[in-house]
Amino acid sequence: MSAVEFDSEIGWDGNSLTVWATVNGSRVFCEIPRFTIHGVPLLSDEISWEISRDRAAIFDRLRPAVVAKIVRSRDNSIRLHSSDVSAPALELAVG
């Protein structure tokens, strides 16, 4: 599997963060719902405008979990759930 590359534009529609990834020449739509963001320590009380403002930092924190989900699923779209976000992945992202 080649490296996963993400577009620089990260969207926020009030319900989910969204970003496109490219892996092996294929595009993958990635969605991180608000309930997943709220399940992450230090992000549990983020309100919509804060998520919008901090979307790049939030995505960077969750990037390891998104990459892992892409590699596991091999689908053309993924939705990150709280169960996909592990403590070790977050420790690496924060560390």
Provide the number of structural domains found in the chain. 1
Across 78-82, 84-88, 90-94, least confident range: 90-94
- 93 in Cβ contact with 59 (< 8 Å): no
Q: What is the pTM of this model?
A: 0.86
- Its domain, for residue 74, covers 5-94
What contacts 9, CB < 8 A, 6 or more positions away? Answer: 19, 20
Of 35 and 86, more confident: 35
Summary mean pLDDT of the chain: 89
Please report, for the domain that includes residue 75, its CATH number: 3.30.160.140
- 30 in Cβ contact with 70 (< 8 Å): yes
| Residue 85 pLDDT | 87
